[in-house]
Amino acid sequence: MSEDEILNKLLSHKLSFYEIDKIVGVSEAVALRRRAVEKLTGVRLQHVSRFSVDASSVAGRNIENMIGTVQVPLGIAGPIHVKGEYANGDYYLPLATTEGALVASVNRGCTVIREGGGAVVRILKDEMTRAPVFVCENIEGVVKFINWVKSNINRMKNAAATTTSHGSLLGVEHFVTGRNVWLRFSFDTKDAMGMNMVTIATDAVCNLVLEENADVKLVSVSGNMCVDKKPSAVNTIMGRGKTVVAEVVIPDKTVESKLKTTPEKLVEVNYRKNLLGSIRACSLGFNAHAANILSAMFIACGQDAAHVVEGSTAITTIEKTDIGVHVSVTLPSLQVGTVGGGTHIDTQRESLEILGVAGAGEPEGNNAKKLGEIIASAVLAGEISLIAAQAAHQLVDAHKRLGR
């Protein structure tokens, strides 16, 4: 078929968008779909058609029915000084956002952190989870099933190992409601964020479970106890992905000169806003705007933006000390990777290269941990600046000047 014939069939719905991938090359398919959408909607798509991303590397891997790209402005903040186990030095932060004042705010936080000697950051836990749900015949069957699980951890680890050479099953927790059993498997996924890896590995483990337990039925390989892309108490308490803490002590003189407020006001705003306000709202996030920084860095660095949901359950603390103001952020559920997903896309890979974390680390896992430490430090910078702006009653003025 000629391109005009394909286009006419698309317009008459005799051919589906996805079917033309089997007829023409990737670039031609992208252009034909875009032309069809223009005619079907009456909208000229002159901007989404302009991109430097290699369509053949993302079509079918990161996107279906591709017609172009949506560009998000990319800013830079920093340098931020990080003192972590994996990230150690000065880093410039790529932030993709349409929110005016955000990059400027993070940039101010980076300056304050530098004057405080840098952000000390540590990863306390690093485990990706997947939790299939099973149903047993009765409570006696539940107990029998749990006992089998406890006695066969090594066999389940071996089953998971047959699916990947880059990850491993670390352990399993069980949760019961009635005759329903959730097995929450935890995996080491090295430099990958790892959702696909752990799903495939969990499926292999489930096959072993079903072979050995004829009276148990698998309902779903994901039973929402993982918990994936939803705010949850279990992830806040037990962690998912990387559990990271970043801290800095800001000298009192820096609070006054750079943040234009006082240590006491910083403490009060955090207490009454981030802690009491969040408690009163029954929020699972006790922070000012962690999701802002997470989403900007996730988009820039090819992360799964939906995981901002879990990352936003961060907890910010501010305390007055004898040597300054101690500020910390705790992210119980930060899910990032430097291989897989969108990390290979040309523009996103460049952002990872800015941070020195593109691709697999040496040893494996180090780059993803380094990225986690940098992002946690960036969240710390954002929290410091926004809380200070609110303490100094500068927030409205900043948005009037830098973005609405």
d(CA 32, CA 34): 5
Question: Nearest Cα to 352, choosing from 301, 398, 276?
Answer: 301
List of long-range contacts for 252-256, beta carbons under 8 Å, 24+ apart:
252/324, 252/325, 254/112, 254/115, 254/116, 254/324, 255/324, 255/325, 255/388
**Rounded (10°) angle between helices 395-402 and 102-115:** 120
For residue 347, give the H/E element and its range.
helix 346-355
Pairing state between β 119-130 and 74-83: parallel
Residue 272: phi and psi, rounded to 5, are -80, -30
d(CA 113, CA 383): 11
d(CA 144, CA 398): 61
| DSSP SS3 for 124 | strand
Contact between 246 and 377 (Cβ < 8 Å): yes
d(CA 311, CA 321): 28
Contact between 5 and 27 (Cβ < 8 Å): no
For residue 243, give the H/E element and its range.
strand 241-250
Contact between 142 and 179 (Cβ < 8 Å): yes
Contact between 290 and 383 (Cβ < 8 Å): yes
Residue 175, strand partner residues:
182
| DSSP SS3 for 118 | coil
Instruction: Name the catalytic one among 28, 173, 188, 304.
Output: 304
d(CA 39, CA 10): 10
Q: Determine whether 99 is an active site residue.
A: yes
| DSSP SS3 for 116 | coil
Instruction: Name the catalytic one among 99, 188, 203, 319.
Output: 99
- As given in the structure block, the two tokens for residue 136 are 């047993």
Peptide bond into 263 cis (omega under 30): no
Q: Which amino acid is it at 174?
A: H
d(CA 359, CA 349): 8
Q: Determine whether 3 is an active site residue.
A: no
**232 DSSP assignment:** -
Residues known to be catalytic: 99, 304, 399
